[in-house]
Every structure is written in C-alpha cells, then in structure tokens.
C-alpha cells in the first residue's frame, strides 16, 4: 500500500489532465488568519488544508487574498507548492466584509496584473471561495480562457431562511452576486448532496456543474488523546462535565442557545452545577461584532457566569486539546454548510451535540457519534445535553464511534476528489462549457 504522496497520488484517477498551477481566490479572509477571529473560520481551514494536499499532488497553488495590514508581505510561502499573494484593495484596516464589494475592481486588477507578469498560460484554472471571490474569479477565468471552479461555503438564500432572532439578513446584492457566479462557473463544488440540491433549487445550478466533495479533517492534529492530561494543561477539573463551544461568536452560530440550555438544565437539576463547566472558545465575528460583550451579559442574566468560561481563539494544536478535554462539543448553529468543527472534535474522540441543519447531519451520525437536535428551543437542547452530563458510559461509547467516523474524512481524499473536479472542468472547457452544451 503506498504511503504519503504516493498514497495521495494513487487516490486520483486518470480521467483527464489535471492543472499544473491554479489561482485560488479568497478575497475577504486570509488563509494565514487565525480561525475563530473576525471572518476567519472553517473556510480558512478548508483553503489551507486543501491547498497543501493539492500541492502534494503536484498542483501548485497560489492563493490571492486581500492585504489587511501594511505589514503583510507581498507573498508568503505557506507550504511547499503553496504561495499566498496579498493584494492591495482598499484601506488595509477598518473594512468589514460588507464593504468589500466596492473593492472588487481593485482586487481584480491586482490579480490580473500578477498574471500579466508571467508568460501566457501561467494558471490553468481558477478556484474561488465565497461569492466575493467568485466575481473576481469569473472575470479572471474569462480573461485567461481557463475554467472557473467555485465553492460557495455559505449561501445568502439559505442563511436568510434560517436567521437567528435579531440577526440581519444577507442583502439582495449578495443574492444577485451569487446567482451571477453560479451562471459563470464551469463547476460548483458542494460540501454535501443537500448543498448541491440547494444550489440547484435556489440558484438554478445545472447537474453538469455540480460536484459533491466532503471536506476533510487533519487527522495528524485532531486525534484521540489523554483527556486527563488535556484537562490538566487547560486548568479544567478532572471530574467536570465539560460542554464546549468552539467557533466564532455571532448569532448564526447560536452560542446563546447553549447558554440558555445550560440554564434550563441547571434549573431542573441544581446539583449539576458543582461539576458543569461550559468553555466558550472563540471571538466575536460578523453581526456579533456590534455587541461583543452580549454573551457575557447573557451568562450573567441567566445566573450561570460561574460555570461559563470565555477563552480567546486558539491555534489548531491547542484547539485539539480543548476537544480532547471536552465531554461533548455543542454546535447549535442556525446554518452550517458542513461544520468542520464537528469533524475535528469527533476525530479527537469527542461526541457532538449539533443542530440538524446544513451539512451537520453528514458530519454527525445521530445517536451514534452524537445527537442531532431539531429546532433551537432551550428546553429541547437541555434534554439533549443531559445524557452527556450524567452518563459516562454513553460519552465513552459515542466518543469511540466518533473517532472511527471522523477517520473516514481525511483531507487526502478531499484533495483527490477536488483534483478530479478540476480535470473534468478542464476537459469540459476544451469541448465548450457543459452548461451550454
């Protein structure tokens, strides 16, 4: 059985020519940024891991992202075969994601100018991430005469159908922009079959455009380990029931649902307070930036400040320690295209209690590796969380199943499948776009 690069190469079929070098676009957030801060999250992890594994397949990746600081070097070598290019587009600081459509012209100019400095045919394909990047990718791909592959990550129509109370809907301009990107793309990579159906239903994507590729998890970093040692390093009580929230603090991710469920659980069984710990690991993001202290205030209002602990975002190695230390990871999100955090926790042997939305029913096997909860009523979440606080045997059984389940989602397989999508897009471009065939 081949190992390392040989094993990854063996995963890739020979149905078409793969690109030698691709331009990967991530306008609004850099793969160099710490996930859990600002707009950095699962998409950042996705781009970093995918790019590294594509490089292992001898596909060079150049990631274009907006410079967010005057200290950003023009280029940064992220890994062998993976180069990050910082493009100046608008002021370095002070721009939120909603301001960026006005800077797409400047960003596009930077991308095209970079390509113009090389011989024709420098890039074989463009892979854009999120709708803002899709607009740049659309123009670049047309200019260079190469295929455009696009990954949405999230969609305005899907998010607007599942808004949290008080959250702001995505603007009409984004809906229009996403529709235009779908029309322009040669291939659309969806995280799950459900997401592919949403692209077809909401945006009229054609069957020939759609490909389903499950994201992966870094199984070298996220793996089972010693829970007692992890708790000792993180300063957590050894006998605690630890219900962990890890991610960006914003209404979409619904950390407030976890806090309300914990308050409900303690109201029913006050004795649990002595051993319950609820770490919230992450920083404010998106609409959560408008009220960065709102979750702290909610904990105080609910009378659970003594069990809730707030921690800033951490790197992957430390995040893996938090997963190992946890009794369960809790993901009450209103919308998730996939939910990489759920896979990471399970890879560490930690069961997940998650909302039955988006790709989470693929990432989590209900009643096997965790629990899927329908709706966001605190009473229902309290009921779902109670067994993880009171039944150690259930936690151990589902944690072991979670590790086995997550082991199926390595990034090698995701990169190999993505390379196949690239080959199909290049073959389709050579024969004319499939959507107009």
Per-residue pLDDT of 70-117, as tens digits, reads 899 999 999 999 999 999 998 988 788 888 999 999 999 999 999 999
Q: CATH number for the domain including 359?
A: 3.40.50.2000
Question: What confidence tier does 10 reach under pLDDT thresholds 50, 70, 90?
Answer: very low
For residue 433, being part of any structural domain is answered with no
pLDDT in tens, 209-267: 999 999 999 999 999 999 999 999 999 999 999 999 999 898 989 999 999 999 999 99
Question: What confidence tier does 283 reach under pLDDT thresholds 50, 70, 90?
Answer: confident
Pair (184, 274) in one structural domain: no
DSSP string, 356-396: S-TTHHHHS-BTTTEEEE-S--HHHHHHHHHHHHH-HHHHH
For residue 278, being part of any structural domain is answered with yes
Distance from the Cα of residue 149 to its chain's centroid:
18
Pair (416, 386) in one structural domain: no
Question: What confidence tier does 168 reach under pLDDT thresholds 50, 70, 90?
Answer: confident
Percent of the chain with pLDDT over 70: 91
Contact 199, 206 (CB under 8 A): no
Cα–Cα distance, 213 to 372 (Å, whole number): 22
DSSP string, 320-360: HHHHHH-SEEEE--S--SS-HHHHHHHHTT--EEEES-TTH
Pair (252, 206) in one structural domain: no
Pair (272, 153) in one structural domain: no
Looking at per-residue confidence, does 68 or 407 come out higher?
407
Pair (63, 181) in one structural domain: yes
Element (H, E) at 328: strand 328-331
For residue 87, being part of any structural domain is answered with yes
Instruction: Return the pLDDT at 212.
Output: 97
Query: Of the segments 89-98, 116-125, 163-172, which one has the largest average pLDDT value?
Result: 116-125
Pair (125, 109) in one structural domain: yes
Residue whose token pair is 């607009």 = 135
Contact 84, 105 (CB under 8 A): no
Pair (253, 338) in one structural domain: yes
Instruction: Return the pLDDT at 298.
Output: 96
Instruction: Return the pLDDT at 37.
Output: 57
Q: Residue ranges for the binding site?
A: 28, 34-35, 39-44, 97, 130, 154, 174, 248, 253, 314, 323-324, 326, 336, 344, 350
Pair (90, 159) in one structural domain: yes
**3-class DSSP state for residue 277?**
strand
Q: Is residue 41's pLDDT more than 50?
A: yes
Q: How many domains does the chain have?
A: 2
Pair (308, 401) in one structural domain: yes
Q: Is residue 126's pLDDT more than 60?
A: yes
Cα–Cα distance, 246 to 223 (Å, whole number): 17
Pair (327, 252) in one structural domain: yes
pLDDT in tens, 372-396: 999 999 999 999 999 999 999 999 9
Instruction: Return the pLDDT at 36.
Output: 62
For residue 152, being part of any structural domain is answered with yes
Pair (184, 75) in one structural domain: yes
DSSP string, 7-20: HHHHHS--SSPPPS
For residue 221, being part of any structural domain is answered with no
Query: Which burial class, exposed, middle or buried, applies to 272 when counting CB atoms under 10 A from its CB (0-12, 13-18, 19+)?
Result: middle
Q: Is residue 436's pLDDT more than 50?
A: no
Q: Residue ranges for the binding site for UDP-N-acetyl-alpha-D-glucosamine?
A: 34-35, 42, 248, 253, 314, 336, 344
pTM, 2 dp: 0.88
Q: Is residue 2's pLDDT more than 80?
A: no
Question: What confidence tier does 284 reach under pLDDT thresholds 50, 70, 90?
Answer: confident
Q: Residue ranges for the binding site for Mg(2+)?
A: 323-324, 326, 350
Question: What confidence tier does 429 reach under pLDDT thresholds 50, 70, 90?
Answer: confident
Q: Is residue 67's pLDDT more than 80?
A: yes
For residue 88, being part of any structural domain is answered with yes
Q: Which residue segment(s) compose the domain that 53 sits in?
A: 4-216+411-427
For residue 249, being part of any structural domain is answered with yes
Task: Give mean pLDDT, residues 395-411.
Answer: 97
Contact 44, 28 (CB under 8 A): no
For residue 177, being part of any structural domain is answered with yes
Q: Residue ranges for the binding site for 1D-myo-inositol 3-phosphate?
A: 28, 39-44, 97, 130, 154, 174
Task: Give mean pLDDT, residues 33-52.
Answer: 81
Pair (297, 369) in one structural domain: yes
């Amino acid at each position: 059985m081949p190992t390392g690069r040989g094993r990854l190469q063996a995963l890739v079929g020979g149905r078409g020519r793969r690109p030698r070098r691709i331009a990967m676009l991530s306008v609004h957030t850099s793969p160099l940024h710490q996930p859990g801060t600002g707009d950095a999250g699962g998409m950042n992890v996705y781009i970093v891991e995918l790019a590294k594994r594509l490089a292992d397949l001898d596909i060079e990746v150049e990631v274009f992202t907006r410079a967010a600081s005057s200290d950003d070097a023009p280029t940064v070598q992220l890994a062998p075969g993976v180069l990050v290019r910082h493009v100046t587009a608008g002021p370095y600081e002070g721009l939120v994601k909603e301001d960026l459509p006005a800077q797409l012209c400047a960003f596009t100019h930077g991308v095209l100018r970079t390509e113009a400095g090389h011989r024709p045919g420098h890039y074989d394909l463009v892979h854009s991430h999120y709708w803002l990047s899709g607009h740049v990718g659309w123009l670049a791909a047309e200019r260079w005469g190469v295929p455009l592959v696009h990954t949405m990550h999230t969609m305005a129509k899907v998010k607007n159908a599942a808004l949290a109370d008080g959250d702001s809907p995505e603007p009409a301009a984004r809906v229009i922009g996403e529709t235009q990107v779908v029309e322009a793309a040669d291939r659309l990579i969806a995280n799950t079959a459900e997401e592919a159906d949403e692209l077809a239903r909401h945006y009229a994507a054609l069957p020939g455009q759609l490909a389903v590729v499950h994201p992966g998890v870094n199984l070298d970093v996220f793996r089972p380990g010693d829970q007692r040692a992890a708790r000792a390093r993180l300063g957590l009580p050894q006998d605690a029931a630890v219900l962990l929230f890890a991610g960006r603090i914003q209404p979409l991710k619904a950390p407030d649902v976890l806090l309300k469920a914990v308050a409900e659980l303690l109201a029913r069984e006050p004795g649990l307070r002595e051993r319950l710990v609820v770490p919230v690991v992450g920083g404010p993001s998106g609409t959560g930036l408008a009220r960065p202290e709102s979750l702290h205030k909610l904990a105080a209002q609910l009378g659970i400040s003594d069990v809730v602990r707030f921690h800033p975002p951490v790197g992957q190695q430390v995040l893996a320690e938090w997963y190992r230390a946890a009794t369960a990871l809790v993901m009450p999100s209103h919308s998730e295209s996939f939910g990489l955090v759920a896979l990471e926790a399970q890879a560490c042997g930690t069961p997940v209690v998650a909302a039955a939305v988006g790709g989470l029913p693929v990432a989590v096997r209900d009643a096997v590796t965790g629990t899927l909860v329908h709706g966001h009523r605190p009473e229902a979440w309290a009921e779902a969380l109670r067994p993880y606080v009171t039944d150690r045997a259930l936690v151990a059984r589902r944690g072991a199943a979670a590790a086995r389940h997550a082991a199926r989602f390595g990034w090698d397989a995701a990169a190999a499948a993505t390379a196949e999508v690239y080959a199909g897009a290049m073959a389709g471009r050579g024969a004319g776009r499939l959507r107009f065939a």
